[in-house]
Structure 1
Amino acid sequence: MGSRLMRWHIAVAAVALAGFLVVPDGSTLQLVWQVACGWFAAGMIAVGIRARRPAMRATWWLFAVGVAGNSGGILIEYILTRTEAEPGFPSLADVAYLSLYPAAAAGLLLLIRRRTAYRDWSSLIDATTLTTGMGLLAWVFMIKPAASDPSIGLIGHIFSTAYPVGDVVLLAMTVRLILSGSARNTSFRLVCGALICFLAGDGAWAVVNQMGWEPGPMAHKMLAVVFLAGYLLFGAAAVHPDVRALSSSIEPRPSRISRPLLFALTLASLIGPALLIVQALRHKVTDTLAIALGCVALFLLVVTRMSQLIKQLDVQTEKVRELAVTDELTGLPNRRAWNTELPRTIERVRRTGDPLTVAILDIDHFKHFNDAYGHLAGDRLLKEAAAAWQDQLRTADHLARYGGEEFVVMLPDATVAQAHEIVDRMRLATPLGQSFSAGIAVWNGSETSDELTARADAALYEAKNAGRNRICAAAEPANA
């Protein structure tokens, strides 16, 4: 049922678009064809709501209202032209045409809020940057000329500027939707395709009007077929099986900027200076204030985005630094961290005169345990042992994984007796019925960190040779 409905819609849409190109331009059949395409798409959206039962039904009803209203404007304009000598501007047809913008924008807003339950500031800033650049173009070439036309009156100015303003709002919502997260199924792509068709169609007509060009029959059909494709793509998105997952919450996209997005942001940032250069070359700078404000807004957006990237870089650098000194399996500091921390602590206790004891632990018969129960069990033993031992330590103590099944403990302000008591508590807490051998050594006040560790290591091997599952203290060095 699901795929059959989609295939049927695609077949009808293909026939509708191909047939429109052969219908005589300017004929009544062409008008009926356009209205029928729009209303068929709106009907398919309603069918999709009933058949697919998407989570965000309000979004799709708004899309259906916008598509039906926009295509219905063609019929209203035809009726007004036939019944009135001069329908005037604005008319009911303009109300119908413009209904697409608030309906689609409201539907997109609901969809974006449903998909992004988090605050994705990166996407918001990127979308605002792109929209600001395009909005500056729209102001110079469409909004300002429409607002300054003295022949249409106040209501005419409102409706005339509503078209480009609606395009800018629709562009902002489209860019925000595209940049919001990475989950993009077929229904998502169809919705984006429909929006791009409407924006491309309006943009093409804006260029035609700026150039004062009168399109011929085929060019007129090609411009109109773009809007028909937008209608039908909305219908296809609604009946596609993926529409159910379209409104699911998604993960935020990475904060980094891809090359295509960087290229688009660069072009948007250069629109203001480019407009100023063009007007200066023509010796007629008429939009100084608008261009200046646009440049300031774009500059602040770029600076904000750069600060986000720098902050992200700092966070990633800190993570890399943390990973470099952290054992991946147990989460304890690794040997590199130990080799940094022990000399630093020795220098501190050299000044204060406090005692410092180091212990090296080695899990007894770890290789046999690994061979008997497997490497996953061995990893589990290491992780559980690290957690159990950590619970027996004082706040000032420092436990690290030295390598393999060997661990080291730094015990500041602890005598041999105190260190022996702490390490013995750790030995008794070893999980899974296992034990360890340990060697402890007290810093003599002059030896290096390597020498102190070597004495503790020698005591460890003494404990192993004595039968394991015990703690041995290192003898004082000869030159103490």
Structure 2
Amino acid sequence: MSRAFGVLAALAVVIYQFLPDDRWWLTATQVGIGWVSVTAILAGAHRMPRRERLPWWLFAAGVFANATGIAVATIAAESYGLVDLPTPADPFFLTLFPAVAGGLAVLIRRRDRRPDRSALVDAATITTGFGLLAWVYVIAPRNLGDHMDRLAHATQVAYPIGDLLLIALTTRLLRSGGSRGAPFWWITASLAAFLLGDSAWVVLGNLGAEGEALANTPWIARLLESVFLVAFLLFGVAALHPGARQVAEPADSRPAGLGKGLLALLAGASMIAPAVLVAQTATGGVTDGWSIAFCSAVLFLLVVARMALLLREVERQAGQLRDLARSDELTGLPNRRAWNDELPRALERARRDGEPVAVAVLDLDHFKRYNDTFGHPAGDQLLKAASAAWHATLREVDVIARYGGEEFVVLLPAAGAGDGRQALERALAATPLGQTFSAGLAVWDCRETSDELIQRADTALYRAKKDGRARIEIAAGQPSNAAA
């Protein structure tokens, strides 16, 4: 349905270029295309669950108001001569901005369940840059000594402000997580078409008499009107697409950081202030110095904020990488690297405090047979369940780590052979799924290296396996106080 509507929409825009140069015919066609687009948006929303329809209803309201405003503008001008601002059509045209902005805000909120400060800073940076352009070339010139009253000024200024609102929310939408299928890009293209059409009228307005002449040229006016028709129709194409409901689905992962396109856009927005300053200097005088200075200061602060957030994210990811490098992926316990760092520190503390320290090596009995019987996924589940059960029986100061395969090591600070055996017996009794382990326990003799201590515990482990498994063996060569 979306493809068929897209083909018909393209055909309608082409036909519009060849209609008679009659304002009533053109108005009827523009309004008809707008209302057909509204019908398509509502039809697409109707296929979605009720809770997912709100953003599409808001889009439909905005398009309906804008398209209806075309009819109101023509009737007001042709029948009543109402062409000075504000016209009866302006409320309809301006309704587009809050309605579409509301729909975008709902989509952004649903796509990103958690706040994204970096995305907000990026949107603010781009909006600030374009905001300076709007102020210097659109808003400020409207207040320079003309005869228009305040309501007319407010109406004229409302349009560029509405465009800035859409720029901010469009940028924020592009920085959101979630699905980026065809409907997402159709919505983005529609917003871009609205902004392009408004920008074109602004440029023509700033060209003075030449711009007015160009705007009254039939084929140029027809082309600009077609831009808005395309914007209407793209919303309908997006709503009718089978993947339309995925646009509001929450993100599975955070969006990517500073890509090349985003970096170029941010750099361009940051250069707008100096570019305006250069342009005004080249034409003989800086007339908006305070505005340029204020915008430059805001952009500078936003760039600093973005750098701070980026550095914080880099630090967070570096911390995660450090944690991953020291954690066993399956069990979540410290891995061999973390153990090799911790054991020498524990021995040094024991030497300084004059306390014993014990080390045990555990090995699940008949683990290969268990894997062969129940499969490797079941073996992985056993390792996870056993390590969690053993960890629960130990003290907070004790450390258990996965040494490799089905082998684990336990560090027992301030524990001699007797305390160490009791701790291991509790762990042995807690082993799940009717399984057992063999263990070798060694108490540090205050002279040997950490490798030598582990070797003695490992030798005791093999003796436990040889003597029948499901048992704990004390390593030979213990110090005289090891049984304490």
Q: Is the 8 A contact 1:25 1:221 kept in 2?
A: no
State the TM-score, normalized to the length of structure 1: 0.92
1:255 and 1:309 in contact (8 A); partners too: no
* Map 1:15-414 → 2, pairs under 5 A: 15-25=11-21, 27-50=23-46, 52=48, 55-84=51-80, 87-211=83-207, 212-213=210-211, 214-215=213-214, 216-251=217-252, 253-254=254-255, 256-414=257-415
Per-residue Cα deviation, 1:310-345 (whole angstroms, up to 9, x for no partner)? 111111111111111111112111111111111111
Q: CA deviation at 1:384?
A: 1.7
AA aligned to 2:190 is: A
- The alpha carbon displacement at 1:250 in A equals 3.5
Provide closer, same or farther for how the CA distance between residues 448 and 158 of structure 1 changes in structure 2, counting only shifts above 3 A: same
- Structure 1 Cα separation of the partners of residues 439 and 103 of structure 2: 67
Query: Residues 446, 232 of structure 1: CA spacing in aligned structure 2 closer, same or farther, 3 A cutoff?
Result: same
Counterpart residue type for residue 320 of structure 1? L
The one-letter amino acid of 2:446's match is: G
Please name the residue that 1:436 is paired with: 437
Letter in 1 for 2:6: I
Checking the alignment, whether the CA contact within 8 Å between 2:179 and 2:249 is kept in structure 1 is no
SS in 2 for 1:99: helix
Superposed CA RMSD: 2.4
Aligned to 2:270, the other structure's residue is in SS state helix
Q: Is the 8 A contact 1:122 1:255 kept in 2?
A: no
Q: Structure 1 residues 12, 406: closer, same or farther in 2, change over 3 A?
A: closer
Q: Give the whole-Å Cα distance in 1 for the aligned partners of 2:21 and 2:176.
A: 40
Task: Report SS of the residue matched to 1:426.
Answer: helix
- 164-173 or 235-244: bigger deviation: 235-244
Paired position in structure 1 for 2:454:
453
Question: CA separation in 2, counterparts of 1:373 and 1:70?
Answer: 66
Residue 408 of structure 2: SS of its match in structure 1? strand
Does the CA contact (< 8 Å) of 1:116 and 1:252 recur in 2? no
The worse-fitting range, judged by mean Cα deviation, of 32-41 and 220-229 is: 32-41
Cα distance change of structure 1 residues 350 and 243 upon mapping to structure 2, 3 Å threshold: same
Residue 92 of structure 1 aligns to a residue whose secondary structure is coil
Deviation at 1:56, TM superposition (A): 4.4
Shift in alpha-carbon separation, 1:11–1:369, aligned structure 2, 3 A:
closer
Contact in 2 for aligned 1:334/1:402 (Cα 8 Å): yes
Give the C-alpha shift of residue 443 in structure 1: 1.1
The amino acid that maps onto 1:173 is L
1:379: Cα distance to partner? 1.7
Deviation, 1:74, is: 2.8
Gaps of 5+ in 2: none
Looking at structure 1, the residues matched to 87 and 479 of structure 2 have their Cα atoms a distance apart, in angstroms, of 105
Shift of 1:347: 0.8
SS in 1 for 2:402: strand
Cα 1:453–1:54 shift into 2, 3 Å: same
1:54–1:244 Cα contact (<8 Å) kept? no
Is the alpha carbon distance of 1:331 and 1:252 closer, same or farther for their aligned partners in structure 2, counting shifts above 3 Å? Answer: closer
Residue type of the alignment partner of 1:476: G
Q: CA 1:150–1:387 in 2, change beyond 3 Å: closer, same or farther?
A: same
Counterpart position of 2:9 = 13
Q: Give the AA of the match of 1:131.
A: T
* Structure 1 residue 348, shift from structure 2 partner: 0.9
1:448 CA drift (Å):
1.2
Q: Is the 8 A contact 1:359 1:410 kept in 2?
A: yes
Q: Once the 2 structures are TM-superposed, how far is the Cα of residue 374 of structure 1 from its aligned partner? A: 2.2
Residues 101, 169 of structure 2: 8 Å contact kept: yes
| Separation in 1, partners of 2:193, 2:137 | 20
Task: State the shift of 1:7 in Å.
Answer: 4.7
Residue identity in the other structure for 2:152: G
1:200-253 deviation per Cα after TM superposition (whole angstroms, max 9, x unaligned): 111112222223433233222211110111111223333334333433334463
Could you tell which deviates more after superposition, 83-92 or 48-57?
48-57
Amino acid at match of 1:138: A
Residue 423 of structure 2 corresponds to: 422
TM-score normalised according to structure 2 size: 0.91
8 Å Cα contact 2:444-2:478 kept in structure 1:
no
Q: Give the C-alpha shift of residue 308 in structure 1.
A: 1.4
**What letter corresponds to residue 225 of structure 2 in structure 1?**
A
1:26 to partner: Cα distance = 5.4
- Would you say the 8 A contact 1:436–1:470 is kept in 2? yes
Deviation per CA, 1:53-78, whole angstroms, max 9, x where unpaired?
65344433433333233233333333
Report the Cα offset of residue 416 of structure 1: 1.2
Query: Structure 1 residues 380 and 43, CA, compared in 2 at 3 Å: closer, same or farther?
Result: closer
**Following the alignment from structure 2 to structure 1, what is the Cα–Cα distance between the partners of residues 3 and 163?**
31
CA separation in 2, counterparts of 1:455 and 1:253? 48
Distance 1:306 1:389, change over 3 A: same
What is the CA-CA distance between 1:478 and the residue it aligns to?
10
- Would the aligned equivalents of 2:445 and 2:479 in 1 still touch at CA under 8 Å? no
Could you tell me how far 1:428 is from its partner in structure 2? 2.6
Q: Distance in 2 between matches of 1:294 and 1:23?
A: 45
Q: Are the counterparts in 2 of residues 402 and 408 from structure 1 also a CA contact under 8 Å? A: yes
